[in-house]
A and B are shown apart, each in its own frame.
Chain A
Amino acid sequence: MTLRLRPRVLSAAIAAVVAAAVPAAAQPMMDELRLIAPAAPGGGWDQTARAMQLALQRAGLVRLVPVENVAGAAGTIGLARFIGNESGRSGVVMVSGLIMLGGIVTQRSPVTLHEVTPLARLTGEYEVIAVPTASPYRTLRDLLDAFLARPESISWAGGSEGGGGEQMLAGMVADALGVAPSRVNYIAFSGGGESLPAILGGQVSVGINGFAEFAPQIEAGTLRPLAISSAVRLPGVNIPTLREQGVDVEFENWRALMAPPGITAADRARLDGLIAAMVRSPEWREALARYRWLDRYLAGEPFGRFVQAEETRVRDVLGKLGFGSRGNEAGTTTEPYPWLVLAGLVAATVFAVREARGRARTGAASPRRDRAPLGLLAGAVALHVALLERAGFLIAAAVLFWLAARAFDPRHPLRDGVFAVALSAAAYLVFARVLQLSLPAGVLAGWL
């Protein structure tokens, strides 16, 4: 009996701690809102989710806001999971944006933004084209003259994998100048942070990045901005636009929120109301200022139309850059390195197997072993994997622990059972409740 009570006591204590840490308003509009950030910690989508987490909790709009990172492939992995697992669910939204549209095209994703419920655009960021202060290119004109003379001689660095926002902008600039976008010598880095050293150190000719990421460098005078991708100059920012320098390109990296497919009108209205309240809150305003994001709030039907227009544009740009048509389903490649590695693997396997045969002949046959423990262990693992998302972490973990322990020593079923439940419950409470890590609650969802 005491064992069954423990988790409740613990979660009550933990809830009290959490409540004390977050100054609560009168009445939250929602008890729990899960935020899916389809990227690793640290990137733009993750920052958006964590800024929302803070704003929603501090403004007292939602009591509990866990952030789940589902990283990979420009957000399309998170998107596929979102559509697959969360359909029709209320209380969960995903951060999305322009880059996801690009990812859908370049990865030829089987799922698209047509399948989710667009909620609202939140923020926007313009891209800046900049060179280190020591660069010979004083103005955009200098750079573009060199580019027009021999496009490949200009290396452009940007913080996004193939087909991201920076590469799109470089392609659009080339296109506007009448140069085939596929001739842009674009050097991809996995994030703005990774591209900055290469840009600052003059390893590449020119860099493209979000304004917020470049701003501290520009203020310090280590980078010289040549152009910004906004339609008109931003107030208080002395960077000429592409347009006013004769390059007819406008580009904005927007971020938005999506709800799962198939939610009810009532759920949608509730989420709309919540986001509208968050956008107005001083806590969110503060986050916008802190990250230098532009407030680009747009909800409802107009936002749906905006997403469609952007999708058409992204497909067009990426098509010109040569994306979406390369590669094949099996995912083989024409680069030499992978084939060298595979040849090496085959050769090493042949040598290793021959050596093992030689050793086997010369003696030392291993003694016969009892296969039961390994068999039971394999069963425990299989059951655990099958149960995790169906029955929940707690049950799946307890089963794994108990069976694995029995594989090693079957004499203490009760002791092992007690430890199995205690460890699984403790791990679940600490990680899922206190640290807000996402673990499936499963059939015990209501009880915990």
Chain B
Amino acid sequence: MALAVVGVTASQARADGYSTTVLSMQLSGPDVDGRAVVVRAVDNTGSRGARQVAQVLATATTSDRGAAVLAAEPQALAAFVDDTGWVNFESQVLVDGEPRFTSFSRRWTGTDWADRDGRPAAVPLTMSTAAPTVTAEAPAGLAMTDVSVARQASRGEVACVWYDDSAGNALTTIGEFHTGANTKGSFTYGSSSDSDIGVGYNYGRGWSVGGSGHVGNSRSTYIRFNQSSNFHRQLRSTFQYVHWHLTLGPSCASASRWGQRYQKVTPSSWQSGSELGPVVKGSFCKSAAGRRSFAPNSDFYRGSKRAYTYGAAAKAWGASLSATSGFSKFVDMNYHFGGNKKVRHYLCGRPDILSSKIIYAR
């Protein structure tokens, strides 16, 4: 079957490197050819009882090898760009008569759409046609707070459209910080959020992870964890999550599926607030590899590097969601090593402290 792509503009890919490709999809698994694909820009912030604000950008049908390329002009997405320049998208693929969704985010670089690691969106993203893996229910933990529920279901709900039925706050892991002996340090998050948090989907068979959404809203302040010596913990802040539902109908599913209800949970916004997470146990910086020593009365700071992805960083409505924060102008770390000349000050990371996702200390 020949690749058929609708909505791909002439400027999708040009010799000068300019490309509006927003998703290059490679389906894996059985029956990958001839699948209908839709990509929408979505607003994950929601409004209780209302349908999700979304804009169909492109549609396509996968090739006989399961490939599809979809494009979006950045100028058309101004309403969906968050405070940090990111746009959230959702792809929809028809499998076994029902839609499967994947959330992802992109930032326009000026010449192309790129993902969180700076990879061009033209790099194929593998998606499976196999049944989604149902993740274990989120372990018992801190309860959600400030939960608000839509008063009643929207009258005349349209099938195949997501509706916001509730929202609530959940503590979410945003990072991990370590200090060694004779050291003070700070981990700063804000004043704009910079986190990618998992999106959970429930197709009626339990929650599964379906990509991630970027939370990049600004607040008037930042949070800073100021810590003294020998601190080794995860750090948390509060994010709002939205619970959505969708009812299958003719425009997105085969007749046997009509009336079936889907759910999803998306990260919505950063609410600020800070709390220390679990202690990280271990012996750190014992090996010379990746380790650097620092003089008394010296400093080290680092920003603009993607941080570690924390699995089960948050739970909302039973969905267990991962989270990744960036070290950027929005997230950074500072170390102030004390003047005690008898103490050795070590930071370490693999391959080194400038590029590691976590900086450890001793």
State yes or no: do A and B come from one complex: no
Instruction: Give the B-binding residues of A (Cβ under 8 A).
Output: none
Instruction: Give the A-binding residues of B (Cβ under 8 A).
Output: none
